[in-house]
Amino acid sequence: DADVTQTPRNRITKTGKRIMLECSQTKGHDRMYWYRQDPGLGLRLIYYSFDVKDINKGEISDGYSVSRQAQAKFSLSLESAIPNQTALYFCATSDNGQGSSYEQYFGPGTRLTVT
């Protein structure tokens, strides 16, 4: 089984709808991240969480919210979806500490289309 899973894998929704993307991991990592990827813009950090009680905004958090329900679960919500939120969304995890702990491991991604 995959260490980092994301659901759904694909979603088409309409402008104004609320959407939740879910991420679960079995790696036992404390740190979890949400990124979006747009063609030519690379990976941009939306939110990150270093433990269940520690949630931080990334560079593009406007229009998004997150919930860290447990060490293994980190959800991303779009409160009112808009077309420019159409993108590929990735969840990632990493261990805590130094050096190799910065290694991040990615889920398979969710392709979101807002019409």
Residues forming contacts to other proteins in the complex (CB under 8 A) are: 33, 40-43, 45, 48, 50, 58-59, 88, 90, 99-100, 102-109, 111
Q: How far is the CB of 43 from other proteins (least distance, A)?
A: 4
Q: How far is the CB of 80 from other proteins (least distance, A)?
A: 27
Q: How far is the CB of 41 from other proteins (least distance, A)?
A: 6
Nearer to other proteins, 1 or 59 (CB): 59
Report how far residue 88's alpha carbon sits from residue 94's, in angstroms, rounded to the nearest whole number.
20
Nearer to other proteins, 12 or 79 (CB): 12
Nearer to other proteins, 16 or 97 (CB): 97
Report how far residue 63's alpha carbon sits from residue 76's, in angstroms, rounded to the nearest whole number.
11
For 1-115, strand residue ranges (E) read 4-7, 10-13, 19-25, 31-38, 42-51, 54-57, 64-70, 73-78, 87-94, 105-106, 110-114
Asked if 93 and 33 touch (Cβ cutoff 8 Å), the reply is yes
Q: How far is the CB of 5 from other proteins (least distance, A)?
A: 11
Nearer to other proteins, 2 or 79 (CB): 2
